[in-house]
């Protein structure tokens, strides 16, 4: 289903960028070993169509080309599973990414959430089939019938998929929370998402082992009403992620916490993620800063339409064989 890169040698500009980027990834990320599990989440801006050339021209739309996609692939291939937000109805770039990653990589994706608030988006998990395997569980989170008094459905339906590594199964639920016209527009979705996940975690007989959430929750900052709604039912985003930037436009004045990775903990000791079984957070997590290393002749605004305006966010676990 995916396009193949243009024939002929890879341009030197692409090779040079990939060399710099891979050296930066070596410095920023743990090595994948027999005992670890690397998870990431990445809002890849308007991940839809692709200009089928190594370099998009001034009149081309979209600006994302094979050069940019090769840089995206160099990041994604460092992780066992990457949750991707802003994948659109047009899956050309998604399947071209799989073409670059090779046959060991696969995708599980939701359908598009219809309606204007859905923004033509689907949610996807790109995973390394030699490191993790699907457990068989997939599903979209749908709230109870509004006639019962529950809130209206999510603008973009959260999507869950189960995976297995070394006999340990875990469930990833990804979401791209509605931005809205004001922060108050997001509080309802965040609260209902946290409550739904908590009820899933607490059911005594269900497929709910090792629940993790990751995605773009559009959280403005720590300890504001949005963040409090997110953590209100015991979700724990590790402290290592508190100080890393989320977008390429972030600075000390505009620091945000849009993207998160979290799981449920024992409320008596939030430092210990005790509700995870057979997988242990290593205390290592962060974001991937690709800006200084690729397409350096572009402005950040131009770069955002080729790679993304968001950084990938990642965490590491140990999962013993």
What's the average model confidence in pLDDT over 285-291? 97
Q: Tell me the residue ranges of DSSP E strands in the chain.
A: 36-47, 81-88, 105-109, 121-128, 133-140, 159-165, 168-176, 211-216, 235-236, 259-264, 280-287, 313-318
Range in 33-47, 87-101, 116-130, 163-177 the model is least confident about: 116-130
Distance CA 36, CA 172 (A): 16
What's the average model confidence in pLDDT over 31-59? 96
Q: Is the pLDDT of residue 270 over 70?
A: no
Which carries the bigger pLDDT value, residue 321 or residue 295? 295
Which CATH number applies to 12-318?
Answer: 3.60.10.10
Tens of pLDDT along 158-189? 899 999 999 999 999 998 876 556 666 677 77
pLDDT computed for residue 90 by the predictor: 95
Distance CA 134, CA 297 (A): 40
Model pTM score: 0.93
What's the average model confidence in pLDDT over 92-119? 87
What's the average model confidence in pLDDT over 271-286? 84
Average pLDDT, the chain: 88
> Concatenated DSSP letters for 58-70?
TT-SS---HHHHH
What's the average model confidence in pLDDT over 116-134? 88
pLDDT computed for residue 172 by the predictor: 98
Percent of the chain with pLDDT over 70: 86
pLDDT computed for residue 1 by the predictor: 57
Tens of pLDDT along 193-211? 888 889 999 998 899 999 9
Model confidence at 253, pLDDT cuts 50, 70, 90, reads low
Tokens of residue 258, six digits: 């849009």
Range in 16-25, 52-61, 112-121, 148-157 the model is least confident about: 148-157
pLDDT computed for residue 226 by the predictor: 80
């Amino acid at each position: 289903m995916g396009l193949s890169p243009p024939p002929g040698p890879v341009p030197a500009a692409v090779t040079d960028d990939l060399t710099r980027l891979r050296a930066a990834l070596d410095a920023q990320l743990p090595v994948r070993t027999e005992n670890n599990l690397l998870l990431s989440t990445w809002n890849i801006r308007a991940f839809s169509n692709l200009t089928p050339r190594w370099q998009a021209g001034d009149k081309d739309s979209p600006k994302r080309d094979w050069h940019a996609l090769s840089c995206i692939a160099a990041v994604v291939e460092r992780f066992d599973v990457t949750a991707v937000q802003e994948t659109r109805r047009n899956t050309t770039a998604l399947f071209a990414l799989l073409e670059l990653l090779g046959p060991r990589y696969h995708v599980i994706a939701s359908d598009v959430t219809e309606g204007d608030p859905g923004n033509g988006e689907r949610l996807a998990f790109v995973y390394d089939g030699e490191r993790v395997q699907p457990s068989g569980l997939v599903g979209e989170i749908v709230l109870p019938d509004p006639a019962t008094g529950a809130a209206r459905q999510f603008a973009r339906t959260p999507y869950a998929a189960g995976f297995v590594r070394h006999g340990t199964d875990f469930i990833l639920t990804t979401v791209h929370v509605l931005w809205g016209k004001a922060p108050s527009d997001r509080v309802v979705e965040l609260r209902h998402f946290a409550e739904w996940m908590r009820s899933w975690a607490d059911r005594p007989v269900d497929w709910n082992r090792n629940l993790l959430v990751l995605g773009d929750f559009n959280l403005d900052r720590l300890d504001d009403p949005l963040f409090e709604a997110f953590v209100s039912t015991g979700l724990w985003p590790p402290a290592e992620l508190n100080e890393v930037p989320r977008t390429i436009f972030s600075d000390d004045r505009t620091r945000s916490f849009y993207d998160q990775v979290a799981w449920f903990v024992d409320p008596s000791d939030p430092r210990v993620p005790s509700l995870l079984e057979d997988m242990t957070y290593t205390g290592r997590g962060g974001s991937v800063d690709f800006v200084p290393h690729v397409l350096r002749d572009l402005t950040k605004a131009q770069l955002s339409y080729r790679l993304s305006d968001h950084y990938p966010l990642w965490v590491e676990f140990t999962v013993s064989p």
